[in-house]
């Protein structure tokens, strides 16, 4: 008891200090510990979410990159195929045009040839007729008589045959 | 009240005040160390107000004001202010530190409030106790024929009443958390063993029970002894060489104040943890007692 008295131990002071401490505990818990721990938890969740979002974004980016390169590859192969098809089609068109031109030229050539032959035949016919007539006239002048139509026909025919043979 | 104001004197240094010297010519030549008990500075009704209790109220008020300033717009603001940053850093640091001891999120959350409050209250009170003006400002009184200076304010934990109250809370809450985590029978079963089945366990249980409540004494006198010794040290150094010489000792007292706060809160945490661990968790108990011994040794 002497020690208690010397140290000044007093129940009122003890209770006052207990009340002080409990009051401080209540206030700090309500205004500091609770909000800080809640905010730290929120921040932790936010960071975790950001990390997972960033991972998801990375994956999406990777997918997009993959899709883009696939699309480029596909487009490249498609364009190559189109170029090849166009070249083939152009070649075919060229061949067809050439063939048709060649055929047309041949037709024109055949036609001209035919016409020349006809002209030649006609000319020869006219020339032989003229020749027959000239032969008859010359013979008439030589023998100084007129031929009958039968003679004239025969002479003209002979002259034409000889002309044709030559 | 006017008599008190009339009697208020301010001495040259805290050491002189602690020594009860200062302006009193009679006391100037003699050194009177700080008393081992706190002094009554007034009464409210029948309740006596002591200088250490006043200091305790100032510390509580300071922490409450900081808490109030901190909590304003804290949850709304995404960018914290300087004070909010500082408080956040302290709380997060304490939380991580306590968690490294408990290794259990649920228990860390359960014990955090009391342990952190003990730490903050003790560290703030200890540091306030070495502020200029704490000690030198007081009232001259005549006691046993000697004129002595009764300081208006004195370091809170240089009064054994204050340390006893915190130690009492620590030990009582150890029992409460023990019963909450191990159930009533599980917790008290550690102390009360059937003597017919296990006589040695019975004796050990009783010793453990005694040691459980003797913690109040070891807790309170450790803190009281350190802080009171600090006061005496500063008083002696201030008496021998009042200028410049006490300066390094103020630094030492700042450090002692922090370490004592840390030791008190950490021991409380370790006791909470040990009290909440049953007989099955021997490894865990051994681990935490290892930490306890390390702290005690330091």
Residue B265 has pLDDT above 80, yes or no: yes
Mean confidence (pLDDT) of chain A: 89
pLDDT the model gives residue A109: 94
Look at the alpha carbons of B69, B70, B73, B78 in this order and tell me if their dihedral is positive or negative: positive
- Whether the predicted pLDDT of A6 surpasses 60: yes
Contact between B49 and B58 (Cβ < 8 Å): no
With CA atoms as reference, report the closest residue to B215 among B150, B143, B275. B275
DSSP B131-147: STTTTTEEEEEEETTEE
Residue B183 at interface with chain A, using a CB cutoff of 8 Å: no
Q: What is the ipTM of this complex?
A: 0.79
Taking the C-alpha atoms of residue B150 and residue B156, their distance in angstroms, rounded to an integer, is 15
CA distance B217 to chain A (A): 12
pLDDT, mean of residues B119-147: 84
Percent of chain A residues past pLDDT 90, beyond the cut? 59
Regarding predicted confidence, which is higher, A112 or A136? A112
Q: Do A29 and B162 touch (CB under 8 A)?
A: no
pLDDT value for A143: 80
Instruction: Name the residue facing B161 among A10, A22, A27 (closest C-beta).
Output: A10
Closest in A7, A27, A31 to B37, CB measured: A7
Mean pLDDT (whole number) for A128-148: 80
Q: What is the mean pLDDT of residues B263-268?
A: 94
| pLDDT tens sequence across A46-63 | 999 999 999 999 999 999
CA distance B98 to B289: 15
The model's pLDDT over B41-60, given as tens digits with 9 standing for 90+, comes to 888 888 888 888 999 999 99
- pLDDT (0 to 100) of residue B6: 41
Q: Evaluate if residue B281 carries a pLDDT over 60.
A: no
The yes-or-no verdict on residue A94 having pLDDT over 50 is: yes
What pLDDT sits at residue B25?
Answer: 41
Q: CB neighbours of B181 closer than 8 A, spacing ≥ 6?
A: B107, B187, B275, B276
Question: What number is the average pLDDT over the span B111-130?
Answer: 93
pLDDT band (50, 70, 90) for residue B282: very low
Sequential DSSP letters for B239-260? HH--SSTHHHHHHHHHHHHHHH
Interface probe for B, chosen from A19, A21, A34, A50 (most Cβ of B below 10 Å), is: A21
* Confidence (pLDDT) at A88: 95
Contact with chain A for residue B50, Cβ under 8 A:
yes
Under the banding of pLDDT at 50, 70 and 90, the label for residue A108 is very high
Cβ distance of A28 and B120 shorter than 8 Å = yes
Q: Residue A6: its chain B contacts at CB < 8 A?
A: 36-37
Mean per-residue pLDDT, A104-126: 92
The alpha carbon of A144 is separated from its chain's Cα centroid by a whole number of angstroms, namely: 91
The residue-averaged pLDDT of B249-272 equals: 93
CB nearest to A20's CB, from B57, B95, B168: B57
Looking at residue B24, its pLDDT comes to 42
- Tell me the pLDDT of chain B averaged across its residues: 80
How large a percentage of chain A has pLDDT more than 70? 98
Q: Is B63–A27 a contact, with Cβ atoms under 8 angstroms apart?
A: yes
pLDDT of amino acid A114: 94
Q: How many angstroms separate the CA of residue A3 from the nearest CA in chain B?
A: 11
Which letter does DSSP use for residue A106 in this model?
Answer: H
Lowest mean pLDDT among B69-78, B81-90, B130-139: B130-139
pLDDT at B279: 66
What is the arithmetic mean of pLDDT over B228-244?
86
**Is the pLDDT score of B286 beyond 90?**
no
- For A136: left if phi > 0, alpha if psi spans -120 to 50, otherwise beta; the answer is alpha
Return d(Cα B206, Cα B214) in angstroms, integer: 12
**Residue ranges of the domains in chain B?**
52-133+153-297
Of B63, B91, B159, the CB nearest to A33: B91
**pLDDT at position B153, please?**
87
Query: How far are the Cα atoms of A47, B250, B261, B288, B290 from residue B293, in angstroms, in the given order?
Result: 38, 28, 17, 9, 5
Q: Is the pLDDT of residue B118 over 90?
A: yes
B221 touches chain A (CB under 8 A): no
Q: What is the pTM of this model?
A: 0.70
3-state SS of B43-59?
A: EECCEEEEHHHHHHHHH
Residue A24 has pLDDT above 90, yes or no: yes
User: Residue B280: its pLDDT value, please?
Assistant: 58
Chain B residue with Cα closest to A38 = B75
Please indicate whether, in this complex, the C-beta atoms of A25 and B53 are within 8 angstroms of each other: no
Substitution target in B160, B224, B227 with the highest count of A β-carbons within 10 Å is: B160
* Per-residue pLDDT tens over the stretch B200-218: 888 988 998 898 889 888 9
pLDDT score at A93: 94
**Mean pLDDT, residues B70-96:** 88
Q: Which of residues 26-45 of B touch A (CB under 8 A)?
A: 36-38
Q: What pLDDT is recorded for position B21?
A: 37
pLDDT band at A166 (very low <50, low <70, confident <90, very high): low
Indicate whether B101 pLDDT > 50: yes
Percentage of chain B lying above the pLDDT 70 cut: 82
Closest partner residue to B165 (CB to CB) among A7, A8, A18 is: A18
pLDDT at B171: 93
Sign, CA torsion B234/B238/B240/B246: positive
Q: Is B108 on the interface with A (CB under 8 A)?
A: no
| pLDDT value of position B134 | 79
Q: Is the pLDDT of residue B158 over 50?
A: yes
Q: Round to whole Å and give the CA distance between A137 and A127.
A: 15
Domain residue ranges of chain A, discontinuous segments joined by +: 2-165
């Amino acid at each position: 008891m002497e020690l208690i008295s010397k140290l000044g131990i007093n129940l009122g002071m003890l209770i006052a200090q207990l009340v002080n401490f409990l009051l401080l505990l209540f206030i700090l818990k309500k205004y500091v510990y609770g909000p800080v721990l809640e905010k730290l938890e929120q921040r932790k969740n936010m960071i975790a979410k950001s990390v997972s979002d960033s991972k998801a974004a990375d994956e999406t980016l990777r997918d997009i990159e993959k899709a883009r390169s696939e699309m480029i590859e596909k487009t490249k192969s498609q364009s190559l195929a189109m170029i090849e098809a166009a070249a083939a089609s152009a070649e075919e068109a060229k061949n067809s045009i050439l063939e048709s031109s060649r055929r047309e030229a041949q037709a024109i050539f055949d036609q001209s040839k035919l016409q020349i032959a006809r002209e030649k035949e006609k000319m020869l016919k006219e020339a032989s007729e003229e020749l027959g007539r000239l032969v008859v006239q010359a013979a008439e002048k030589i023998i100084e008589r007129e031929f009958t139509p039968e003679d004239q026909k025969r002479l003209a025919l002979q002259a034409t045959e000889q002309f044709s043979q030559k | 009240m006017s008599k008190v104001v009339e009697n208020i004197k301010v001495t040259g240094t805290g050491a002189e005040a602690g020594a009860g010297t200062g302006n009193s010519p009679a006391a100037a030549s003699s050194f009177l160390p700080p008393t081992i008990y706190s002094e009554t500075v007034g009464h409210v009704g029948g309740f006596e107000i002591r200088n250490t209790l006043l200091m305790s109220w100032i510390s509580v008020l300071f922490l409450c004001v900081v808490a109030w300033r901190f909590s304003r717009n804290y949850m709304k603001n995404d960018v914290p202010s300087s004070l909010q940053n500082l408080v956040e850093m302290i709380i997060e640091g304490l939380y991580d530190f306590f968690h490294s001891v408990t290794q259990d999120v649920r228990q860390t959350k359960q014990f955090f409030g009391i342990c952190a409050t003990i730490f903050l209250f003790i560290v703030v009170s200890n540091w306030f106790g070495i502020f200029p003006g704490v000690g030198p400002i007081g009232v001259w009184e005549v006691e046993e024929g000697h004129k002595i200076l009764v300081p208006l304010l004195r370091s809170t934990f240089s009064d054994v009443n204050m340390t006893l109250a915190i130690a009492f809370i620590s030990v009582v809450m150890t029992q409460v958390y023990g019963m909450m985590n191990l159930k009533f029978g599980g917790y008290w079963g550690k102390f009360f063993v059937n003597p017919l089945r296990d006589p040695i366990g019975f004796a050990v249980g009783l010793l453990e029970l005694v040691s459980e409540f003797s913690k109040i004494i070891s807790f309170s006198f450790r803190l009281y002894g350190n802080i009171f010794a600090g006061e005496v040290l500063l008083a002696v150094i201030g008496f021998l060489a009042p200028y410049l010489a006490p300066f390094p000792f103020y630094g030492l007292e700042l450090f002692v104040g922090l370490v004592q706060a840390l030791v008190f809160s950490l021991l409380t945490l370790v006791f909470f943890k040990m009290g909440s661990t049953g007989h099955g968790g021997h490894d865990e108990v051994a681990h935490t007692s290892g930490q306890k011994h390390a702290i005690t040794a330091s």
